[in-house]
Amino acid sequence: MSGSGAPAVPSELARLRGSIDNIDAALVHILAERFKATQRVGVLKAELGLPASDPAREAEQVGRLRRLAQEAELDPVFAEKFLAFIVAEVIHHHEAIAQGHAQRP
């Protein structure tokens, strides 16, 4: 037993937790890259006077993500909820970009 009084963590549990930590870090970096790309899309949409939301594109993405989730043995409902959360944030960013673009002289 260690001096802290906490029970020792089994090695497999520690290994799995380390893997989860690495995956979480990768997810954060991947999401950051995705948002960099969507920010650029928001700027282009604002410059072209396009709406922040593109329901047809979003529907395509939902279908694509559901198929990918099924192939990866991930719950497609979860994957769709995850995408909906991301898309809502992206649309919020695009609206803010469009408002800033409209306010420029």
Residue 83's pLDDT is what?
Answer: 94
Residue 17 falls inside a structural domain: yes
Residue 36 falls inside a structural domain: yes
Residue 97 falls inside a structural domain: yes
Residue 3 falls inside a structural domain: no
For the entire predicted model, the pTM comes to 0.78
- Which letter, b or e, does each residue of 13-24 get, where b requires 16 or more Cβ atoms within 10 Å of its Cβ? eeeeeeeeeeee
Give me the domain span that covers residue 39: 11-103
CA proximity to 39, closest of 95, 103, 104:
95
Supply the CATH number for residue 34's domain. Answer: 1.20.59.10
Residue 87 falls inside a structural domain: yes
Residue 88 falls inside a structural domain: yes
Residue 105's pLDDT is what?
Answer: 44
pLDDT in tens, the chain (105 residues): 455 677 898 999 999 999 999 999 999 999 999 999 999 999 999 999 999 999 999 999 999 999 999 999 999 999 999 999 999 999 999 999 999 876 544
Domain count, the chain: 1
